[in-house]
């Protein structure tokens, strides 16, 4: 792949060596403190969910509804971001705990875990920001790089991106079926329909749990409990959409071509992760609530290292970038989010520059 002109082959090799060494150091230091961390987060998440659902049982009382909805929303964010996403990446497989393992975990999300692991862990993380290979570049719906061809439908992308934020888990679930590939003849329709039925089964369980079973258990509080569950899910969707988009599509995030993968070395793979990802600044609680995807650069460099270690890794990665003259794309949530929306509005029009320019 093309590399910044100031870097030599020796530089690229050294970048790969240093990052491999950093990975080995973190892996060797994993232990009981890390295990306590993830177990504590899971315990807090389950406590918040139980407390939120209990309060929604008596949500005819406005304070109970507000507190219950807020607790449930935080629980759902923690479950999806810091727990589900990271457990399914295999970050905690080293513990050999069958209850916290990528092969057994099923998350509170419309996407079946196995389907999501293929589309995200394999496709996205192998071909990060490679146009034509990484399906997460605009999710086949949005133009987020000038390298993507413009189509009149993109004029509406600010509108349908806002709609996607509200129903993000459902959009991702359908998207992972790859219906557009079946339409183009690149995938058998029988395979797509089998996957779609899997999504519908999982989605049905989600709908019954949140919009039928728990509201019915609330009895006289059925309606407020129903709307509490709905609002908690919408809050989770908007939050996860915001964090994920801020990690991938702010201005300055580079996009690559398939041809640039030819002969890619380990150091060049690391370089592609560095140049194609972006971070969000914040404190410890903010990082936990983002699933530590506020450390998106570190996550793309080391997707299967435990998320609680990214804050420790980040200063070392930033120092490496400074020493080798590489951009370390980071900023506040407001700044990165504004950058994403600026790109989406700008690239809704033909022949406009945006992320990756």
- Provide the 8-state DSSP code for 134: -
CA neighbor of 336 nearest in space, from 285, 273, 293: 293
- In the numeric block, which tokens belong to residue 70? 């807020």
Domain ranges in the chain are 9-346
Q: What is the mean pLDDT of residues 278-291?
A: 98
Residues of the chain with pLDDT > 90: what percent? 82
pLDDT, tens digit, 9 for 90 and up, residues 55-77: 999 999 999 999 999 999 999 99
Answer yes or no: is pLDDT of 277 > 70. yes
- In the numeric block, which tokens belong to residue 247? 């990690």
Provide the pLDDT confidence category of residue 184 given band limits of 50, 70 and 90.
confident
Residues of the chain with pLDDT > 70: what percent? 97
Q: For 142, list phi and psi in degrees, rounded to 5.
A: -120, 145
DSSP states along 212-233 = IIHHHHTGGGHHHHHHHHHHHH
Answer yes or no: is pLDDT of 2 > 60. no
Instruction: Give CA separation, 33 vs 27, 39, 84, 314, 325, in Å.
Output: 13, 10, 20, 19, 35
pLDDT, tens digit, 9 for 90 and up, residues 105-117: 999 999 999 999 9
Higher-confidence residue of 98 and 179: namely 98
pLDDT, tens digit, 9 for 90 and up, residues 12-67: 999 999 999 999 999 999 999 999 999 999 999 999 999 999 999 999 999 999 99
Instruction: Give this prediction's pTM.
Output: 0.93
């Amino acid at each position: 792949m093309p590399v910044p002109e100031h870097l030599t082959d020796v530089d690229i090799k050294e970048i790969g060596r240093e990052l491999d060494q950093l990975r080995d150091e973190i892996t060797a230091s994993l232990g009981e403190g890390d295990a306590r961390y993830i177990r504590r987060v899971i315990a807090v998440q389950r406590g918040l969910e139980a407390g939120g659902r209990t309060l929604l049982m008596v949500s005819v009382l406005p304070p109970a509804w507000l507190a219950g909805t807020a607790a449930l929303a935080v629980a759902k964010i923690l479950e999806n971001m810091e727990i589900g996403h990271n457990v399914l990446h295999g970050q905690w497989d080293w513990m050999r705990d069958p209850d916290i393992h990528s092969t057994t975990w099923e998350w509170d999300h419309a996407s079946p875990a196995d389907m999501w692991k293929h589309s995200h862990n394999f496709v996205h993380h192998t071909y990060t920001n490679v146009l034509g290979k990484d399906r997460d570049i605009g999710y086949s719906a949005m133009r987020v790089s000038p390298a993507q061809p413009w189509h009149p439908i993109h004029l509406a992308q600010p509108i349908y991106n806002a709609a996607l934020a509200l129903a993000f888990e459902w959009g991702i679930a359908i998207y992972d079926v790859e219906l557009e590939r079946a339409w183009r003849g690149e995938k058998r329709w029988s395979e797509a329909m089998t996957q779609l039925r899997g999504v519908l089964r999982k989605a049905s369980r989600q709908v019954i749990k949140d919009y039928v079973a728990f509201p019915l258990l609330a009895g006289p509080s059925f309606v407020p409990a129903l709307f509490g569950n709905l609002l908690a899910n919408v809050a989770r969707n908007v939050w996860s959409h915001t964090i994920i988009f801020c990690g991938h599509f702010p201005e300055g995030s580079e996009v690559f071509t398939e041809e640039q993968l030819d002969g890619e070395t380990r150091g060049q793979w690391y370089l592609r992760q560095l140049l194609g990802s972006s971070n969000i600044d914040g404190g410890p609680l903010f990082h936990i609530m983002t699933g530590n995807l506020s450390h998106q650069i570190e996550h793309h460099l080391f997707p299967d290292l435990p998320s609680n270690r990214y804050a420790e890794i980040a200063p070392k990665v930033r120092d490496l970038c400074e020493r080798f003259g590489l951009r370390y794309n980071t900023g506040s949530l407001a700044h990165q989010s504004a950058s994403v929306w600026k790109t989406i509005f700008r690239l809704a029009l033909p022949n406009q520059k945006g992320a990756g320019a």
